[in-house]
Amino acid sequence: MHWHQREIRLPPLPRGFHVITRTVVDALPELARIRVGLLHAFVCHTSASLSINENADPDVPRDLAMAVDRIAAEDFPYSHTLEGSDDMPAHVKAALVGTSVTIPVRDGRLFLGTWQGIYFGEHRDRGGPRWLVLTLQGE
């Protein structure tokens, strides 16, 4: 069993959902040598998220952003407001969507479904650079 761990920095991205599958794969050249294993991806921020969703239709990220904006609206009477009106809704969105994904690896590739990709959710208007920890294990 082999373990590899890497921290990667995502550049500042606009608020919304972004497919980052290629970024993750490119950061892990060791992936090509794994016959069977798992990749765990974790975002090190409380106002961003990771998920798996459809990666083919550009309407999907827009619709996801619209839905979570409706679920965690900025005009809700939050108590935690010191960091701006988008901060507490961003925490709610991250809690609902999640901060990590685990993906099977088979024959040197992420074993995702035909239309699946890794999504990064930026839930702040100006979140800045974000850090991911990628942990790959396998043989």
Q: pTM, whole model, 2 decimals?
A: 0.96
Q: Give the number of other CB atoms < 10 A from CB of residue 53.
A: 17
Query: CA separation (Å) from 54 to 17, 69, 109?
Result: 11, 19, 18
Q: Give the number of other CB atoms < 10 A from CB of residue 54.
A: 17
In this prediction, residue 111 carries a pLDDT of: 98
Binning the chain into helix, strand and coil, the percentages to the nearest 5 are: 25, 40, 35
Name the domain count of the chain: 1
Enclosing domain of residue 59: 2-138
**Per-residue tens of pLDDT for the chain, all 139 residues:** 899 999 999 999 999 999 999 999 999 999 999 999 999 999 999 999 999 999 999 999 999 999 999 999 999 999 999 999 999 999 999 999 999 999 999 999 999 999 999 999 999 999 999 999 999 999 9
- Give 36's strand partners: 106
In this prediction, residue 16 carries a pLDDT of: 98
The CATH number for 35's domain is 2.60.120.460
